[in-house]
Amino acid sequence: MFEEYINSKKDEILENLNQMIKIPSKLEGYNNPEYPFGKNIDDALNKFLEIGKKLGFKTKNIDKYCGYIEFGEGQEMLGIIGHLDVVPEGEGWKHPPFELTIEDEKAYGRGTIDDKGPMIASLYAMKAIKDNAQVNKRVRMIIGLNEENDWKGIEYYKGHEEMPTLGFSPDADFPCIYSEKALLSAYTEEKYIPNEKILIKEIDCKNNRINVVPKFCSVKIEVSNEIEKELYNMLLNKKEIVFNQKENEFYIETHGIQAHAAHPELGENAISKMILILNEIYNKFGVENSTIKELASKIGKETNGYSLGISHKNKELGDLTLNLAQFNLKDDKLTSGMNLRIPKDCNLEVIKQKIIDNLPNLNVTFDGEKPALYIPKDNKLVKRLCQIYNDYTGENKEPLAIGGATFARAFNNCVSFGAMRPEEPDMCHQVDEYIKIQNLIDACNMYANAIYELTR
């Protein structure tokens, strides 16, 4: 219904997406009282609200924690809930991460698929409806700012603003998401006690986020003279590492493939590689460290939690997944962090206890717990959104369950709807993140159709 109008806005859509991609809206911490999530995220919010205002919408900056863009009248409200923050870019990009690059009909840049591209598409879908149709509800785009971390912004919104009657989040997959796994992060800590044979001096994982499969880990160790030569010969035969030696100091690197923690099996975990190498070194020279020993034996390269006793298979909702994402040495504390995605039929308290029981010499704490989202497939909202997708594409897809977590679970009667197409690789959190330009325009059309249908 709105294709001609939306196609006429294609260049404008891409230019405004470029303006958003240019802002490196990564979390900068919570210590600046002027900017709750950092200056760059604040800039992203202001720029997006500016675009919304120029398009003729009502806008509101909610104390710099979040914002909204709105049009329409009525008691009921359709919410479109997404985010403008991004994960760090990482290394190894062919294209500049914070500049929109068009190549082979793809738009590259950090945030193009997660979630700035879908947010721009949703905004222009709102514009298509505003200029070409009537609505019987208010339509409000709710703008989150730290979705990739702890959701403080969306919680602030819920404490200060009106809740939508129903809604969707343009932050996952088409045709529609009916279930999202529960989230849980587990952290271990141990006092690091130096050993006369092996001393860990430094660990660097590039401040990897808990929801990203780490692609880099380096460790600097100092060893006693008696094992220096033997360690050199041992490392010389390890093809999975890069190392160099300066006298009795060894610098070791492991490299992996970055991926979203919802799909750790699609990546290659550099921290897991490092833990296994260190464990082998420690075993060879008769040195013990509980963190290295227990993480090597109870996690290693596993992504399903099997050796921790928490693996769980669910044909409908997907299996439990685990991502060993952090490994640090600071203030004489050796720490690690892992992120779990857990189907709704698992008991989270049982999962926690099994992790504690299987890491007996480590202090284990938990954070980032979010309950699973589950809306039956025959729910009216799920069926309508799936039908919109299938009618537009000519396909016959069924709703999906995912390991990702979206703002859909923050509100009642809300599910995720695109913008990733079923046939496309998941580029969220990946190097050279992109969205196909035609898919972006298609998403805009489907969002316009969804707004039209859901406001009747």
Q: Which residues are catalytic?
A: 85, 147
Q: In this structure, is the dihedral angle defined by the CA atoms of residues 316, 322, 325 and 330, taken in order, positive or negative? A: positive
Beta strands in 333-438 (DSSP E): 333-342, 363-370, 373-374, 400-402, 414-416, 419-420, 434-436
CA 112 to each of CA 176, 191, 205, 256, 350: distance values in angstroms, whole numbers, following the listed order: 19, 41, 25, 23, 38
Contact 217, 254 (CB under 8 A): yes
Residue 283's alpha-carbon distances to 10, 234, 237, in angstroms, are: 60, 12, 17
Who's near 128: CB < 8 A, 6+ residues apart? 2, 5, 6, 9, 444, 448
Tell me the C-alpha distance between 448 and 451, whole Å.
Answer: 5
Q: Which residues contact 142 (CB under 8 A, 6 or more apart)?
A: 66, 68, 79, 80, 81, 82, 154, 157, 164, 407
The answer for residues whose C-beta is within 8 angstroms of residue 196's C-beta and 6 or more apart is 224
